[in-house]
Structure 1
Amino acid sequence: MHFSIPETEVRSGENGSTYVAYNIHVNGVLHCRVRYSQLLGLHEQIKREYGSSLEQRREQLEKYMQAVRQDPLLGASELFNSFLRKAQQETQQIPTEEAELDIYLSNGQKVRISILTSDQTEDVLEAVATKLDLPDELVGYFSLFLIREGADGGCSFVRKLQEFELPYVSVTSLRNPEFHIVLRKSYWDSAYDSDVMDNRVGLNLLYAQTVSDIERGWILVNKEQHRQLKSLQEKGSKKEFIRLAQTLKYFGYIKFDPSITDFPEKGCHVIVSAGNNELNFHVRLPNEHVKEGSFKVTRMRCWRVTSSQVPVANGTAAPSCGGKCEVKLELAFEYLMSKDRLQWVTITSPQAIMMSICLQSMVDELMVKKSGGSIKKMLKKRHNGSLHRSDSQHAVKSPPILDSPDTNREQMVKLSTKLTSVTLRGISTSNSSNDISGNNFHGNYAFEGIGDDDL
């Protein structure tokens, strides 16, 4: 989670007096406005309950909030998350009441659920699972994502909804019909598809997502593969359809909007996709040549998300003044290019935080496997939902037959330089709690004994 406090506002109180409000952005989006006294109250509660170990980071509120979140105990505490949820609700001035919320499936189908406006992400996920008749043991395999639908039918992932926010408040406060909440699988290893496909509803959800990803061009399909897939669709062979799709390039990947990178040189346009424990780059060089390559998470020593303010187009205001500015987000990761050479690679994208969340979840899966733990238990671990199950069921409709593949899709050239295949054994990582500087958010990991592939 990335915190920033890019601006303050002078607001009027109920008695006509004015006060300074701090605008807290979480994952690049305005989450809430709070007074300094509210944050001070949170700090005093944390000190009473957990001690005063974070006192030195109070000098700047932004650093302090990031430090609290990065602490394994404090960041996951209900005290901290409930504070953020309450502040979000108060900022948007949405009272607690019964409401209906539309959750979208990958095929565009809407599932309307009845919730409270103050229900957190877990509650909403439980409610949609109830509506779909998805078993409790499979709920953890799915998550809710905030997306933005483009006029051209495209889909941009904004972020994965977290435990510190209220989905109803998050989507309605945007006041833009282009934003939707979508249900999508939340794991990366396709081996766990078998668990999901053993259930009828899970199979339909995974099938709808697979068809959608193919139609968007996220999964690459040639003419013969398309013919086979279409034949399986016509037969209603959903499991066989998914198993064939699992063999295709970019199955299970999330594709991001066009962005800018400094690899292999500054100013290159790039399409980034996340999946299969890697970030895949489709890079257009300044000479218009297009190349493709992948960066494995097992060879990333660390990464960080950095936010900064830049004036809007035709604006003359400096980031520190009151003029109109926009937040610029960058994801940078330090990569093992060869046995003894590390290099920073930077991506400038509004979706930088979503990319970071993808990296984090890939790392989580790998670490569970490395420690001999069960990824199934990790995915199934749920908080007890506060909503009661209803008797209503909502069937998942099958998507239409696949359209013909785009024969004009540009072919990509592999990067000419291969990286030496090594692990990150012996490379030390710094303590993230000591790595907070400016608006940086670090995720530091090194792996031993996890195999990785060449670029």
Structure 2
Amino acid sequence: MKMHFSITAAEELRERGGGRYVLYSVCLEGFLLGKARYSQLRRWDAELRQLFGNAVPAFPPKFYLVMTKSMADERRSQLEQYLQNVTLDSNITNSDVFIGFFRKLQQDTFKIQTQRAFLDVYLADGSNIRLDIQTSDTAERILEVTLCKMGLSRELIKYFSLFFFQDHDDGALSVVKKVAEFELPYVSLQSMKELHCKLGIRKWYMDPSLDTLLMDCRASLNLLYMQAIQEVKRNWVKPTEGQMQELEFLQENANKAKFLELIREVQFYGYVRLDPCICDYPEGGCSADIYVGNNEINCCIKLPINQTKEVSFKINRLRSWQVTFLGATKDGEDDTLELRFEYNDSGTWQWIILYTKQVTSGDL
């Protein structure tokens, strides 16, 4: 899976000795992961090349003259492209050199040393599991410990992932982003304090039929059932009146297997629903409800003429995508992300843009 790195800011600072250097804000899926100097990234690149040789993409060259603004902009862009390209190779992203670099970068940026801490991981029914962890534990490690503690078979762990999400007072649920395997959830939660995020577990696959592979394990059956109940309560799925009556009957009788069998037939089951956002398709300024899953991005778009238009963008017709942090909205209350993807519509490529507070690009 391609991860979307971006460098949203380049801040020029002074050394104690009077020299100057640039500190780059490295973001993952639109959220700050850490701040790094060019020299740090260059040393990291050298370590990667010792292990992987020419599999590592070209690193932006060093400038020996004073950088002009255009040169500085070019370097920022080149570093951003380098980070995006280096993550295309899973051998690199799974290596100790890759994971160790970003572990240290997160800890140094947010000044959190390795120490013992407690971390709550929430399930879809609102309950939580409290873990005794190290602040430097990666998401991969925390997910494994949590699911093993629940009795999940190790071979099934790959079907689940950690997410940051928000519970709202009105009962709505926002899935903010999927947590990358090398990310440090404890540190990320500290850096996202203003969003009041929680760490939770959700299944992580796009084909609802894969549920059948997890039904024989009691722990995974319970996880799927809890998430399905949550999606019904939060109105993420759209059952017919008849389906809803049958689902309620199966829930009352605690028939989890039959419940999951029926709900796979319900529209938008297993999708991630975004909060209402702004879309530039088919024209600018349209509001839209977005559902991502089952190899599509489904948009229910409200047109200016008080009509709605439902559009399905198929994942296999996407060529590329980008996530950009835009900053606060006009009212100053929320940060906004621009998620854009290049789509083949009847043989013509065009960019579709969503303005949102959430990132689901891990789906793409």
Name the TM tier (shorter chain).
Answer: 0.7 to 0.9
**1:25 aligned partner:** 27
Answering whether residue 338 of structure 2 is matched by residue 329 of structure 1, we say: yes
The match for 1:96 is 114
User: What is aligned with 2:124?
Assistant: 106
The structure with higher relative contact order (CA 8 Å, sep 6+) is: 1
Quote how far apart the aligned CAs of 1:109 are: 1.1
Equivalent residues in 2 for 1:162-173, closer than 5 Å: 162-173=180-191
Secondary structure at the residue paired with 1:282? strand
Alignment of 1:287-436 (within 5 A): 287-298=305-316, 300-307=317-324, 309=326, 313=330, 328-337=337-346, 341-350=347-356, 353-354=359-360, 356-359=361-364
Moved more, 300-309 or 162-171: 300-309
Equivalent pair of 1:138/1:196 in contact (CA under 8 Å) = yes
What is the TM-score when the length of structure 1 is the normalising length?
0.69
Deviation at 1:35?
2.4
Residues 1:224 and 1:263: Cα distance change in structure 2 (over 3 Å): same
Aligned residues: 345
Report what 2:10 is aligned to. 8
Tell me how far apart the structure 1 counterparts of residues 325 and 161 of structure 2 sit (CA, whole Å): 29
Unaligned 5+ runs, structure 2: 62-74
Matches within 5 A, 1:108-147: 108-147=126-165
**How far did residue 69 of structure 1 move?**
2.2
Using the size of structure 2 for normalisation, the TM-score is: 0.85
> 286, 290, 293: which is aligned to 2:304?
286
SS of the residue corresponding to residue 270 of structure 1 reads: strand
In structure 2, the residue corresponding to 1:187 is in which secondary structure? coil
CA offset at residue 207 of structure 1?
0.7
Secondary structure class of the residue paired with 1:302:
strand
Query: Matches of 2:59 and 2:155 in 1, distance apart?
Result: 43
d(CA) in 2 for partners of 1:102, 1:39: 33
C-alpha distance in 2, partners of 1:109/1:314? 34
Deviation of 1:41 (Å)? 1.2
**3-state SS of paired residue (1:202):** helix
Shift of residue 11 of structure 1? 5.9
Q: CA deviation at 1:178?
A: 2.3
1:259 equivalenced with 2:286 (yes/no): no
State the 1:144 CA deviation: 0.5
Larger proportion of strand: 2
Q: Using a 3 Å threshold, how does the CA distance of structure 1 residues 166 and 111 change in structure 2: closer, same or farther? A: same
C-alpha deviation, 1:28, in angstroms: 0.5
| Aligned AA (2:215) | M
How big is the shift at 1:64? 2.4
- Residue aligning to 1:188: 206
Deviation of 1:125 (Å): 0.5
* Equivalent of residue 99 in structure 2, options 81, 95, 99: 81
The amino acid that maps onto 2:319 is: C
Q: In the alignment, is the contact (CA less than 8 A) between 1:57 and 1:63 conserved in 2?
A: no
Contact 1:68/1:74 (8 A) holds in 2: yes
The whole-number CA distance in structure 2 between the counterparts of 1:26 and 1:275 is 21
Aligned to 2:293: 275
- Helix, strand or coil for the counterpart of 1:220? coil
Go from structure 1 to structure 2 and tell me whether the alpha carbon gap of 1:182 and 1:352 turns closer, same or farther (over 3 Å shift): closer
- Do residues 50 (structure 1) and 55 (structure 2) align? no
Q: CA deviation at 1:351?
A: 5.2
Q: Which moved more, 1:138-147 or 1:78-87?
A: 78-87
Distance in 1 (CA, whole Å) between partners of 2:134 and 2:327 is 38
| TM-superposed deviation, 1:32 | 0.7
- Name whichever of 131-140 and 108-117 sits farther off: 131-140
- Residue 38 of structure 1 aligns to a residue whose secondary structure is helix
From the superposition, tell whether residues 235 and 88 of structure 1 become closer, same or farther in structure 2 (CA, over 3 Å).
same
Write out per-residue CA displacement over residues 241-294 of structure 1, whole angstroms, 9 at most, x where no aligned residue: 111111111111111122222322332211110122111110101101012131
* 3-state DSSP of counterpart to 1:140: helix
Q: Unaligned 5+ residue runs, structure 1?
A: 316-324, 360-455
Q: Deviations over 1:333-376 (max 9, x none)?
A: 22242xxx22424132235742x2112xxxxxxxxxxxxxxxxx
**3-state SS, counterpart of residue 161 of structure 2:** strand
2:137–2:184 CA contact under 8 A, matched in 1: yes
| 1:318 matched residue in structure 2 | none
Is contact 1:305-1:352 (8 Å) kept? no
- Name the CA shift for 1:334/1:172 in 2 (closer, same or farther; >3 Å): same
Distance 1:271 1:9 in 2: 36
Give 1:206's match in structure 2, choosing from 208, 220, 224. 224
